[in-house]
Amino acid sequence: DTGVSQDPRHKITKRGQNVTFRCDPISEHNRLYWYRQTLGQGPEFLTYFQNEAQLEKSRLLSDRFSAERPKGSFSTLEIQRTEQGDSAMYLCASSPSGFTGGGEQYFGPGTRLTVT
Amino acid sequence: GENVEQHPSTLSVQEGDSAVIKCTYSDSASNYFPWYKQELGKRPQLIIDIRSNVGEKKDQRIAVTLNKTAKHFSLHITETQPEDSAVYFCAASKVSNYQLIWGAGTKLIIKP
């Protein structure tokens, strides 16, 4: 499968615990995005990388959230001291860059986080 | 910042009829407008997109139109089929960063 993959697919954790999610983008895509989606809503942008550089972060991304893409390939999203409000689907997407033909974002299956 | 409004929130059409979903955006600098289809419990899937240098784009039963002056764009689905039932999202972004700002979604129901 050459699409975007995410791991784990589901995570149940207790409030206050730390969790880390992984995203593997399509191999030739140098842009990688993280979104959060709650039931009945559209995805909300969290952050994005061009290669290994984190270029933008949403105000939604509190100090408890951190994302990395150390070698410009896979990315991790960590949430520290989880809260019940963090329960959501965390989606990763990747896209090629370039003025023409770039920008199409392809999504992974998501990681569903439940904080109890 | 950019804001995208999408209407209607729910659309029910008879199988075989056409469906139209409309979105408006606020930032005149936005120049990339994709549409995604999301089935229950699945990932969003890109179905069609349009850039600001084009007024209309068509792919089989799906078409998107863009009116830059009015800052609105629409998705048109013709000859609807049961498998078209899903939630459809519009989005807008700038080519500079492709940070997508999403509409709230339209639940499309195809009645047999």
Calculate mean pLDDT across residues B86-96: 89
Nearest residue in B to A10, CA atom: B41
Burial class of residue A48, CB neighbours in 10 A (0-12, 13-18, 19+): buried
CA distance B94 to chain A (A): 9
Question: For A21-39, how does the pLDDT look when each residue is reduced to its tens digit (9 = 90+)?
Answer: 999 999 888 899 999 999 8
Contact present, A14 and A23 (Cβ < 8 Å): no
Calculate mean pLDDT across residues B18-33: 94
Pairing state between β B101-102 and A53-57:
unpaired
Compare B93 and B83 and report the one with higher pLDDT.
B83
- Looking at beta carbons, which residues of chain B come within 8 Å of A39? none
Q: Band of the pLDDT at A111, cuts 50, 70, 90?
A: very high
Identify the pLDDT of residue B106. 98
Q: For chain A, positions 36-65, list CB contacts with chain B under 8 A.
A: 40-45, 48, 55-56
A94 vs B78: CA distance, rounded Å: 30
B54 Cβ under 8 Å from any chain A Cβ: no
Which of B7, B43, B95 to probe by mutation at the A interface, max A CB count within 10 Å? B43
Identify the pLDDT of residue B44. 94
Question: For B27-58, how does the pLDDT look when each residue is reduced to its tens digit (9 = 90+)?
Answer: 998 999 999 999 998 999 999 999 888 889 99
Report how far Cα B10 is from the mean position of its chain's Cα atoms: 13
Question: For A47-75, how does the pLDDT look when each residue is reduced to its tens digit (9 = 90+)?
Answer: 999 899 998 888 878 899 999 999 889 99
* Cα–Cα–Cα angle for A112, A114, A116, rounded to 5 degrees: 175
B31 vs B64: CA distance, rounded Å: 14
CA distance B86 to chain A (A): 12
CB contacts < 8 Å between A and B, how many?
A: 54
In which element (H, E) is residue B13 found? strand B10-14
CA separation, residue A115 to residues A40, A54, A76 (Å) = 18, 27, 19
Burial A74-90 (b: 16+ CB within 10 A, else e): bbebebeebeeebbbbb
Task: Quote the radius of gyration of chain A (alpha carbons, Å).
Answer: 14
Mean pLDDT of chain A: 91
B64 Cβ under 8 Å from any chain A Cβ: no
Longest dimension (CA), chain A: 45
* Contact: B100, A56; criterion CB under 8 Å: no
Identify the pLDDT of residue A98. 61
Report how far Cα A13 is from the mean position of its chain's Cα atoms: 18
Q: Tell me the H-state helices in chain B.
A: none
* Contact: B102, A48; criterion CB under 8 Å: no
* Contact: A42, B93; criterion CB under 8 Å: no
